[in-house]
Amino acid sequence: MPPRRALLAGLLATPLALHGTGARGEGTVIHRERSLYRNILVYEHEGLRCMKFGVHDAGRQTCASLTDPQQLVFEYTRMILGALYLVPEPRRVLVIGLGGGSVPMALRALLPQAEIESVELDPAVVRVAERFFGFVPDARSTVITGDGRVHVKRAVRQARRFDLIVLDAFDHLYVPEHMITRDYLLEVRALLDEGGVVAANTFSSSGLHAAESATYHSVFGTFFNLRRNNRVILARRDGLPAMTSVEAQAARLEPALRRLGTGREWLLPLFRTDATWPPGTRLLTDQYSPGNLLNLRD
């Protein structure tokens, strides 16, 4: 591992894998390729089909049940659907980071009339999602290949608006450095329509937890901090609704969410707004991000 990535890995050190526990036994490998950006491995193990990046014991990016593909395997995907408690019927959705397509597919099942736009850096990941995980783009669920931040910048210039934005871009270590800064989050906020919501998948515990939290708070104010193996930040452009409103939406959506393996009994207790970072925590910016902080350059 190059010195820059080794130091960054140390800063992000956590006993948790990116998206669930790591896959020490890879089971039956059904696909392996080296793309322009990463090693991609698809394997089947204990009733799951999974994709991971990297050749070592990296966290899994995607897993799907071989017997019930509609069921959401990872807790973070179930937590992301909690965003619908804040914006129950989004018409325009932007998903940054595709993986195996579990998030846009779940949203398509719940929101058949919504326009869902996914952005994925690696065309090989798109091909793997389509071939091995059942992701099928259509007229209302499109996928664009390219850098997520570049796409966001372009959308801001075009004055586009979304009701829900899901931030789920990961490499084999963490969220890409240029997609964790205040500058980027301000661009994301500029894309939100009135009442729009951002749902961001991050680590539950890492050396960046405080700075990341403070950075989100500086852009969105108080946010819901859902924590299990991963953490999902739910923030709203115009401030959070009252919990009575959240609970009412949860009751309305319960039958649909239960079909995907989640629901209010599990989700609602996770809706907390605790400030878990020290006062005065320095914000992450394009000038002060993990790599810049450690003076890391390959």
User: Please, how many CA atoms are within 13 Å of residue 6, restricted to the half-sphere of its CB?
Assistant: 4
Q: Tell me if 232 sits within 8 A of 202, measured CB to CB.
A: yes
List, in order, residues 6 or more apart from 258 with CB less than 8 Å away: none
Count of CB atoms situated within 10 Å of the CB of 180: 23
Amino acid at 82: G
Angle 184-186-189 from CA coordinates, rounded to 5°: 115
How do beta strands 192-203 and 230-236 pair? antiparallel
Backbone phi, psi, residue 242, to 5°: -70, 150
**CA gap 125, 37 in Å, rounded:** 10
Q: Which residues are catalytic?
A: 168
